[in-house]
Amino acid sequence: MRLVLLGPPGSGKGTQATRLKDKLDIAHISTGDMLRAEIAAGSELGKQARSVMDAGNLVSDEILLGMLESRLAQADVSKGFILDGYPRNVAQANALGELLARIGQPLDAVVQLDVPTELLVERIAGRAKEQGRADDNPESVRQRLQVYNEQTAPVVDFYAGRGTLARVDGVGELDEVEARIHQAIKP
Ligand code: AMP
């Protein structure tokens, strides 16, 4: 199963992706986690990405594509994968399509987690307390939501136009939302 999980910041993408990875025994590829690991390691890439991420903006398409390409070349990906946090704009969606075609691993499904904005803000505030993510401060959150609306929402239309999109209600208990996703991606 090769899956893209889309949704605004705070929609529960990361949590659901972790659950799906365990259930389906596929690789969980979170570009946000990969970037945070680069920052933690103090790499050159991490240094470049840090201020951009803290401000709630998107790291360059070029950096992301390079990172993704090397991740997709790793052995564990052959059993399938769930992409969490990529693509974030239409250029990335096109690049992903080309990359997957080239390696002969087309997507099976794209799922959009729908959550109303008021709830997103509330959830991110809760996460900020629990995890202390540097980009979970109010200003950055506002910017990430704006970036989502301007750049990532068109990705939802991109996949809808290709008939590969399933929309899932992301409001409810974690088990409930997960069950909806399984239902949506059933072959
Ligand atoms: P996330 O953990 O998915 O919310 O990502 C955290 C931050 O990492 C985002 O706000 C961006 O700054 C950066 N990021 C993650 N994925 C991407 C991507 N596909 N393209 C550009 N920036 C990204």
Domain with 68 in it: what CATH number? 3.40.50.300
Question: Which residues, in sequence order, are bridge partners of residue 165?
Answer: 110
State the pLDDT at residue 137.
81
Whether 167 is catalytic: no
Contacts of 91 (CB under 8 A, 6+ apart): 61
Six-digit token string for 9: 């910041």
State the pLDDT at residue 134.
78
- Which atom belonging to ligand 1 lies closest to the Cα atom of 36? 8
Letter string b/e over residues 135-169, b meaning 16 or more CB atoms within 10 A of that residue's CB: bbeeebbebbbebbeebbeebbebbeeeeebbebe
State the pLDDT at residue 142.
87
Nearest 5°: the CA angle 89, 90, 94 is 125
Which candidate in 2, 127, 142, 186 is catalytic?
Answer: 127
* DSSP output for 106-150: --SEEEEEE--HHHHHHHHHHHHHHH--TT-SHHHHHHHHHHIII
Q: What is the pTM of this model?
A: 0.94
Whether 19 is catalytic: no
State the pLDDT at residue 118.
87
Q: Report the length, in residues, of the chain.
A: 187
- Candidates 80, 72, 74, 75; CA nearest to 100 is 72
Nearest 5°: the CA angle 23, 28, 34 is 155
Give the closest residue (by CA) to ligand 1 atom 1: 32
State the pLDDT at residue 173.
96
Strand ordering across the sheet containing 165-169: 27-30, 81-84, 2-6, 109-114, 165-169
Question: Which residues, in sequence order, are bridge partners of residue 4?
Answer: 83, 110
One-letter identity of residue 173: E
- Which atom belonging to ligand 1 lies closest to the Cα atom of 60? 21
State the pLDDT at residue 78.
93
Give the closest residue (by CA) to ligand 1 atom 11: 58
What's the domain range around 100?
2-185
Whether 142 is catalytic: no
Give the closest residue (by CA) to ligand 1 atom 15: 32
- Report CA(59)–ligand 1 centroid distance (Å): 7
State the pLDDT at residue 111.
98
- Report CA(184)–ligand 1 centroid distance (Å): 25
- Which atom belonging to ligand 1 lies closest to the Cα atom of 52? 12
Q: How many domains does the chain have?
A: 1
pLDDT tens digit at each of 187 positions of the chain? 999 999 999 999 999 999 999 999 999 999 999 999 999 999 999 999 999 999 999 999 999 999 999 999 999 999 999 999 999 999 999 999 999 999 999 999 999 999 998 889 888 888 777 887 778 888 888 899 999 999 999 999 999 999 889 999 999 999 999 999 999 998 7
Work out whether strand 2-6 and strand 27-30 pair parallel, antiparallel, or are unpaired.
unpaired
